[in-house]
């Protein structure tokens, strides 16, 4: 199975480029390819002739999207649709990475794949509109929503917490937002399994379990054997340009239907810490 990773220099892309049995992986990223340029996509797909394209490239600065709306939509929506049209022309399958931000966070139980989209941020809207457009262009595409991704090879919450904890005696972390931390290595493995199983439609893929950002930070500090105090604060006390979902836990039922189970986020965090320190 030949898989082309578009966005291989990002956090998830870094994990997707690791050797995987039975998978011939190739990667593209800026400046060699810009998904806003359809002719570039045509040229590279003709050159690589992949069985699957994994679209991991996106404008993921959630707060930045609020002040750069044009960029958010031209990359996350229009760029994704360019990839879908090029994939259709090249007779390649497409797996698109989406987000928990397509939901409003007002639910009190895990979100299912068919729950109504109601994004509250520009980033969430750009991804939600991409999902809708992709299913129109390529009804057989696979859309994988994930959340709270972390890993080596890019900026992530654990890395930020560890850097701050190294120089501070106490950290204030939001305790009224809940979600599913997801290790990029585990997500990459699930993605390749989905490609191998010829998956289609919308799926949710996160590590098992849920927590608040505060609880996540506590585990990070404890796992790193640091003495930094982690203090809970409310969302209102930490002003951010983009609204965050209060509850964005994603149900694992859709992934389980393909026989795929992801480890707990606490187990994933310990493996991340070992990898980070190696």
| Segment 205-264, tens digit of pLDDT | 999 999 999 999 999 999 999 999 999 999 999 889 999 999 999 999 999 999 999 999
The pTM for the full model equals 0.97
Is residue 123 flagged as an active site residue? yes
- Mean per-residue pLDDT for 23-39? 96
59, 111, 123, 272: which is the annotated catalytic residue? 123
Query: Structural domains in the chain?
Result: 2-156+181-209+248-264 (3.40.50.720)
Please give the pLDDT value at position 154.
Answer: 87
DSSP string, the chain: -EEEEETTTSHHHHHHTS-BTTBEEEEE-TTT--TT-HHHHHHHHHHH--SEEEE------HHHHHH-HHHHHIIIIIIHHHHHHHHHHHT-EEEEEEEGGGS-S--SSPBPTTSPP---SHHHHHHHHHHHHHHHH-TT-EEEEE-SEE-SSS--HHHHHHHHHTT-SEEEEE-S-EE--EEHHHHHHHHHHHHHTT--EEEE---BS-EEHHHHHHHHHHHTT---EEEEE-GGGS--SS---SB-PBPSHHHHTTT----BHHHHHHHHHHHHH-
């Amino acid at each position: 199975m030949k898989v082309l990773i578009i966005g291989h220099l990002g956090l998830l892309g870094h994990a997707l480029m690791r050797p995987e049995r039975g998978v011939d992986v190739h990667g593209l990223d800026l400046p060699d390819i810009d998904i806003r340029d359809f002719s570039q996509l045509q040229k590279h797909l003709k050159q690589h002739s992949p069985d699957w394209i994994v679209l991991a490239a996106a404008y993921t600065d959630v707060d930045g999207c609020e002040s750069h709306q044009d960029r958010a939509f031209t990359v996350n929506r229009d760029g994704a649709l360019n990839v879908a049209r090029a994939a259709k022309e090249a007779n390649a399958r497409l797996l698109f990475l989406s987000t928990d931000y397509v939901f409003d966070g007002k639910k009190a139980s895990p979100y299912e794949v068919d729950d109504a989209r109601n994004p509250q941020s520009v980033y969430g809207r750009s991804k939600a509109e991409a999902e809708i457009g992709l299913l129109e262009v390529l009804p057989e595409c696979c859309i994988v929503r994930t959340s709270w991704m972390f890993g080596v090879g890019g900026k992530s919450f654990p890395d930020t917490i560890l850097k701050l904890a190294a120089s501070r005696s106490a950290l204030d972390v939001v305790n009224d937002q809940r979600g599913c931390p997801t290790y990029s290595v585990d997500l990459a493995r699930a993605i390749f399994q989905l490609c191998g199983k010829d998956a289609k439609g919308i799926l949710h893929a996160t590590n098992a379990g849920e927590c608040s950002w505060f609880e996540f930070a506590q585990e990070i500090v404890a796992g790193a054997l640091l003495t930094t105090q982690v203090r809970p604060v409310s969302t209102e006390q930490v002003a951010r340009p983009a609204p965050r979902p209060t509850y964005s836990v994603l149900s694992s039922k859709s992934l389980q239907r393909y026989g795929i189970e992801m480890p707990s986020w606490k187990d994933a965090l310990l493996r991340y810490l070992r990898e980070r320190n190696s």
